Amino acid sequence: MVGMRYAEVAVDAAVAHSRTFSYSIPPRFSVEAGQLVWVPFGRRVLQGLVVELVGMPKVPETRAILQTVEPSPLIRPHHLQLGRWISGHYRCSLFTAIAPLLPPGFEAHVRSRITVVPDADSKTSNLRPESADALAKLGAKKAGLNEADFTKLLGNNGNRELTRLVDKGLVRRRLIMPRPTVTPKYEAFLMPSPQVSHDSSLSARQEGLLAAVREQNAPYPIALANKEFGNGVGQALFSKGLVAMEWVRADSARIARPSPEGGRQQHTLTSHQSDALSKITEALDDPKIKPRSFLLHGITGSGKTEVYLRAIDQVVRQGRQAIFLVPEISLTPQTLERVNAWFPGRVAVVHSRLTPRQQFDQWWDIREGKYDVVVGPRSLLFAPLAQLGLIVVDEEHEWTYKQIETHPLYHARASALQLGRITGSPVLLGSATPDVETYHAATRGWHTLLELPARVSAGPDRVSRLAEVQVCDMRRELREGNRSIFSRVLAQSLQDCVAAGHQAILFLNRRGASSIVQCRDCGHVVTCRRCSVSLTYHSTQSSLLCHTCNRRTRMPSTCPSCGGTHIRQLGAGTQRVVEEVKKLMPEATVDRLDADVTRSGQNTEETMARLTSGDTQVLVGTQMVAKGLDVPNVTLVGVVLADIGMYLPDFRAGERAFGLLCQVAGRAGRGEAIGQVVVQTYNPEHYAIQAAAAQDYSALYEYEIDSRREIGSPPFNELVHLVFQNRNDDQALRVATETGRTLTLRAVAQGLTEIEVIGPAPGIPSRIRGRYRWHLTLRGRRLLRFIEGMEFPPGCTVDVDPVHVL
Ligand code: ADP
Ligand code: ZN
């Protein structure tokens, strides 16, 4: 049809990546790209996002868009482009890729109600008895029934039967397209209308309100009018044309706390800092500078945050906005305070503790340009900033930047680089221990490498020394008769530290009172029956907990395998470490920080505050203590057992152990006193321990990059991880094996013999929440092209560029 317009729509259905569907646009409404609409899809009605307007549909027959969800577009073109990239790269439907870009609360499903057609009784002959029954029950309900409930009444093949009943004209289907659960909140105001003529028919209350509105120099809130003069009085004046009414979107409460001291600390930058900053400035000023991404590599305390803040400041001065991504918001209170102090009142802190209402209001405030800087976790990359100027990814090596549970399985760092490319914004990646892949990319010139090789201290030209790291061989301690969880060195250092009025942190990358439970007679380790991971002993409930499915069981008194009585917990958890510290120093104030404490509702920030204020003398914690803390009086860090996590069958295990140890070590000696770090281990020769002890990133990098080149791990190859889950173990294994075979044949048929199909292997854990897990790993180049068009079986999760391969 001439002049007809069509929309390409990303539909909220399980469809192939990047796929859109053509719909016609009814002449009665205007539709734009980025707008959310309701569309018919098969027999359903779904939400969809208009991706582009076209003159020609992709198919000869199109159906029409039913309704718009919001009158104007929600998503801007650069974000649509980002959504397309995420859909294509991470293999999810375009709608799934775009959903994180929508305001919170906008995803909704249509509800469908079934009612009886009144005069249809005569046609009910030759119906199935169940259908006749169901019709009778439906007839008794005036408001009808939800489609799902009615289908249940119809019994087997209820869906097909329902279609027949609709076709026969016996029942009617009515669709309810819900409004978003949260919508902008408006406040109404009354204003004097230019019409001055007096209406003598006004009631006393109407007279009173009219006078009040005319007297007030500012718009008069209708809420106040209702309170003072009664409900409906304002509305009556408005109907008579005596006042005008204005709707203003209600202002949300400011989330950013103004800084206590306020203002910026004016440091003189070190020469390394100013070199780094000037490189970034060049890119901010000149859109042609390439590359537009930077890796800021500097040990903790080298002044990276200072560089981020100055770069953001320049962006803000140019009238643009910055995104500042952090791995986890609750662990960075000090960083947040510094950002707030630099940009008072102009910082939006996005985190999951906000109510849906606050999240929603914040989304619109960001969109309306009320903030210059937005700080938050990975999903913040999708904040609707209009004039993006810079993206900072702090601690870029953190694997929390990858979404692993729900689609899209995107990596925020890779996606940030993509958004940077789309918008021309520089991307600043920062880390003390960069991801080996990121560093490799920098050595190839894909990012500009900026190094901050030394710590800054209070004075601009003084450089405080790194903590001294001592590796302590626990096998020797045992041989020499020390059965305590503390080596003699650590015990002595703890006592000295506290006696000197300093503070200490003890680190353990595992929570619970004590770790695995093992039989000393036969070596059996007690595992979760559902998840097959080892259980952890918790002394408070004297029970065993599965850290995968959260199931709790009683501590056995005899070994379930051999019946022996020498069954007990091995290794130590944070609670046990706290007890040992108290035994060693009964007077000391000991605090604990781990996921258990956080989950029990206690505030991480309060624990941090107690440490910062000096109340806590010894803090015992898991990886949560490894990050962000900057307390000058902490002079000792003890790593109770460094081995945990080093032996996972994941090619990144060594890199992660190194990163964690370095971060923990970085907690010591941030002030003038030199820090001391004691690392206890049963394997002092391990390369990750050696490199961490020397705080030598390049040693770690060289070792890693050589071994990865040899094995063919990333960055020398790409990975796609396929996880098959099923309640039936054999079934899961069978589907995984079949898929593996299909992929192998496909590689052979395409002559891509260098692509490897690894597995299937049981996952670690091999079972989660009653579902067995088997996995396959694809390794090679151009894997996306290789799997293009592949249909993966149900229950199979495709994870592109996985961060875990277990
Ligand atoms: P990082 O982010 O690398 O851990 P920070 O930027 O937090 O490092 O800097 C560490 C400490 O040094 C902070 O307390 C910061 O205020 C201070 N600092 C940073 N740059 C300077 C400087 N040029 N002169 C003096 N102090 C500085
Ligand atoms: Zn379990």
Closest CA to 190 of 122, 125, 241, 266: 241
Q: Does the Cβ of 300 fall within 6 Å of ligand 1?
A: yes
* pLDDT tens digit sequence for 442-461: 999 999 999 998 888 654 43
Per-residue pLDDT at 254 exceeds 50:
no
pLDDT at 511: 42
Predicted confidence (pLDDT) at residue 528 exceeds the cutoff of 80: no
Calculate how far, in angstroms, residue 512's C-alpha sits from the geometric centre of ligand 2.
Answer: 15
* Rounded Cα distance, 510 and 104, in Å: 34
- Residues of the chain above pLDDT 70, percent: 84
Nearest atom within ligand 1 for CA of residue 299: 3
Name every residue whose Cβ is closer than 8 Å to that of residue 152 and which is 6 or more positions away in sequence: 158
The angle formed by the CA atoms of residues 292, 298 and 303, to the nearest 5 degrees, is 95
Place of tokens 């200072």: 306
- pLDDT recorded at residue 450: 98
Instruction: Tell me the mean pLDDT in the region 112-116.
Output: 83
Element (H, E) at 344: none
- Least confident segment among 23-32, 329-338, 364-373, 458-467: 458-467
Instruction: For residue 39, give the nearest of 137, 109, 98 by alpha carbon.
Output: 109
The answer to whether 777 and 721 are in contact (CB under 8 A) is yes
Q: Nearest C-alpha to atom 10 of ligand 1 is from which residue?
A: 301
Kindly state the helix (H) or strand (E) to which residue 227 belongs, with its residue range. helix 222-229
Instruction: Quote the CA–CA distance of 126 and 120 in Å, as a whole number.
Output: 13
Q: Whose CA is nearest to atom 11 of ligand 1?
A: 301
CA 119: distance to chain centroid?
54
Instruction: Find out whether the beta carbon of 131 lies less than 6 Å from any atom of ligand 1.
Output: no
In the block, tokens 């119809």 appear at: 154
CA 747 / ligand 2 centre spacing (Å): 37
Instruction: Give pLDDT, residue 17.
Output: 94
The pLDDT tens digits for 179-203 are 555 555 556 788 887 666 666 788 8
Peptide bond into 356 cis (omega under 30): no
Choice from 431, 451, 456, 630 to test ligand 1 binding pocket (greatest atom count within 8 A of CB): 456
- CA of 459, closest atom in ligand 1: 25
Among protein residues, the one whose CA lies closest to atom 23 of ligand 1: 269
For residues 510 and 79, give the distance between their C-alpha atoms in angstroms, rounded to a whole number: 39
Q: What tens digit of pLDDT does each residue of 256-312 get?
A: 444 444 567 778 999 999 999 999 999 999 999 999 999 999 987 889 999 999 999
- Least distant ligand from the CA of 272: 1
Strands (DSSP E) found in 706-805: 718-726, 756-768, 771-780, 796-800
- Give me the pLDDT at residue 648, please: 56
Nearest alpha-carbon partner for 224 in 208, 239, 241, 203: 208
Nearest Cα neighbor of 590 from 487, 491, 503 is: 503
Q: Is the pLDDT of residue 3 over 70?
A: no
Q: What pLDDT, on the 0 to 100 scale, is given for residue 602?
A: 65
Q: What pLDDT sits at residue 130? A: 86
* Per-residue model confidence as pLDDT tens digits over 358-369: 888 888 889 888
Top-confidence residue, 653 or 410: 410
Instruction: Yes or no: say if 721 and 652 are a contact pair by the CB < 8 Å rule.
Output: no
- What pLDDT, on a 0 to 100 scale, did the predictor assign at position 668? 65
pLDDT at 371: 94
Task: Please indicate, yes or no, whether the overall pTM of this predicted structure exceeds 0.85.
Answer: no
Centroid of ligand 1 to alpha carbon of 332 (angstroms): 15
CA atoms within 13 A on the CB side of 496: 11
Residue 2 pLDDT > 60: no
Beta-strand (E) ranges in 560-653? 567-569, 590-593, 618-621, 634-639
Closest C-alpha to ligand 1, atom 5: 303
Q: Are 68 and 77 in contact (CB under 8 A)?
A: no
Atom of ligand 1 nearest to the CA of 268: 23
Each residue's pLDDT tens digit, 616-627? 999 998 777 766
Q: How far is ligand 2, taken at its centre, from the CA of residue 770, in Å? A: 8
Around Cβ 546, how many Cβ atoms within 10 Å? 21
Q: What is the pLDDT of residue 382?
A: 95
- Ligand 1 centre to CA of 594 (Å) is 27
Question: What kind and span of H or E run contains 475?
Answer: helix 474-479
Q: Is the CB of 36 under 6 A from ligand 1?
A: no
Average pLDDT rounded to a whole number, residues 138-165? 85
Highest mean pLDDT out of 29-33, 208-212, 437-441, 594-598: 437-441
- pLDDT band per the 50, 70, 90 thresholds, residue 255: very low
Which ligand is the nearest neighbour of the Cα of 765?
Answer: 2
**Tens-place pLDDT, residues 552-561:** 888 888 888 8
- Under 8 Å between Cβ of 115 and 123: no
Res. 395: pLDDT tops 70: yes
The 3-state DSSP class for residue 349 equals strand
Q: What residue's CA is closest to ligand 1, atom 18?
A: 303
State the pLDDT at residue 318: 94
Taking the C-alpha atoms of residue 20 and residue 687, their distance in angstroms, rounded to an integer, is 50
The per-residue pLDDT for 517 is 76
DSSP bridge partners of 357: none
Distance CA 780, CA 792 (A): 19
Rounded Cα distance between 352 and 163, Å, is: 42
Q: Is 375 helix (H, G, I), strand (E, B) or coil?
A: strand
Please state, in angstroms and rounded to a whole number, the distance separating the CA atoms of residues 30 and 49. Answer: 14
**Residue 302 alpha carbon, nearest atom of ligand 1:** 3
Say how many Å lie between the CA of residue 326 and the centre of ligand 1.
17
The mean pLDDT value of the chain amounts to 84
pLDDT, one tens digit per residue, over 734-779 is: 999 999 999 999 999 999 989 999 888 877 667 788 889 888 989 9
Substitution site in 296, 305, 392 for ligand 1 pocket (most atoms within 8 Å of beta carbon): 305
Q: What is the pLDDT of residue 512?
A: 41
Q: List, for residues 654-707, the tens digit of each pLDDT value.
A: 898 898 888 777 666 556 667 888 998 877 888 998 998 888 999 999 999 998
| Cα 773 to averaged position of ligand 2 atoms, centre (Å) | 13
The answer to whether the CB of 759 is under 6 A from ligand 1 is: no
Ligand nearest to the CA of 339: 1
Residue 456 CB less than 6 A away from ligand 1: yes
Considering just the CA atoms, what is the radius of gyration of the chain in Å? 31
Least distant ligand from the CA of 771 = 2
Q: Is 582 exposed, middle or buried (0-12, 13-18, 19+ CB in 10 A)?
A: middle
Ligand nearest to the CA of 550: 2
Q: What is the pLDDT of residue 223?
A: 82
CA of 114 to the centre of ligand 1 (A): 65
Closest ligand by atom to 464 CA: 1
Lowest-pLDDT choice from 141-155, 300-314, 490-504, 705-719: 141-155
Residue type at 311? A
| Residue 277: Cβ within 10 Å count | 20
CA of 762 to the centre of ligand 1 (A): 46
Q: 456 alpha carbon to ligand 1 midpoint, in Å?
A: 6
Residues with Cβ within 8 Å of 122's Cβ and at least 6 positions away in sequence, in order, are none
User: What span, in angstroms and rounded, lies between the C-alpha atoms of 740 and 38?
Assistant: 39
Whether 302 is in the pocket of ligand 1, judged by its Cβ within 6 Å, is yes
Q: How far apart are CA 118 and CA 126, in angstroms?
A: 18
Contact 244, 191 (CB under 8 A): yes
3: left (phi over 0), alpha (psi -120 to 50) or beta: left
Q: Hey, how many other C-beta atoms are within 10 angstroms of the C-beta on 693?
A: 20
The closest residue, in CA terms, to atom 8 on ligand 1 is 303
**What does the alpha-carbon distance between residue 781 and residue 785 come to, in Å, rounded to a whole number?**
9
Ligand number with the minimum distance to the CA of 451: 1
- 681 with 473: CB under 8 angstroms? yes
Q: How far, in Å, from the CA of 536 to the mean position of ligand 2?
A: 11
Q: List Cα–Cα distances, 314 to 281, 325, 348, 376, 599, in angstroms.
A: 8, 18, 18, 20, 39
Ligand 2 center from residue 411 Cα (angstroms): 27
Distance 310 CA to ligand 1 centre (A): 12
Where on the phi/psi map is residue 263: left (φ > 0), alpha (ψ -120 to 50), or beta? left
Q: Which of 306, 631, 633, 695, when mutated, tests ligand 1's pocket best, judged by the most ligand atoms within 8 Å of its CB?
A: 306
301 in contact with ligand 1, CB cutoff 6 A? yes
Closest CA to 101 of 80, 72, 73: 80
Give the per-residue pLDDT at 520. Answer: 62
pLDDT at 778: 93
Cα torsion angle, 724, 727, 729, 734, sign:
negative
- By the CB criterion, residues less than 5 angstroms from ion ligand 2 are 528, 530-531, 546, 548-549, 551
Cβ contacts of 617 within 8 Å, gap of 6 or more: 498, 503, 504, 588, 589, 590
Nearest alpha carbon, ligand 1 atom 6: 303
Nearest Cα residue to 304 out of 97, 99, 195, 450? 450
Ligand nearest to the CA of 305: 1
Ligand 1 site, residue 269, Cβ cutoff 6 A: yes
Give the CA distances from residue 357 to residues 103, 243, 618, in Å, rounded to whole numbers and listed in that order: 11, 31, 39
23, 63 contact by CB (below 8 A): yes
Of residues 335 and 108, more confidence is placed in 335
Tell me the backbone φ, ψ of residue 376, rounded to 5 degrees. 175, -175
**Ligand 1 in reach of 755 Cβ (< 6 A):** no
**Residue 247: band (very low, low, confident or very high) from pLDDT cuts 50, 70, 90:** low
- Strongest mean pLDDT among 29-43, 438-452, 472-486, 618-632: 438-452
Higher per-residue pLDDT: 671 or 172? 172
Whether 298 is in the pocket of ligand 1, judged by its Cβ within 6 Å, is yes
User: What's the pLDDT score for residue 257?
Assistant: 45
- Please determine, for residue 253, whether its predicted confidence score (pLDDT) is greater than 50: no
Please report the pLDDT score of residue 514 as a whole number: 46
pLDDT at 120: 65
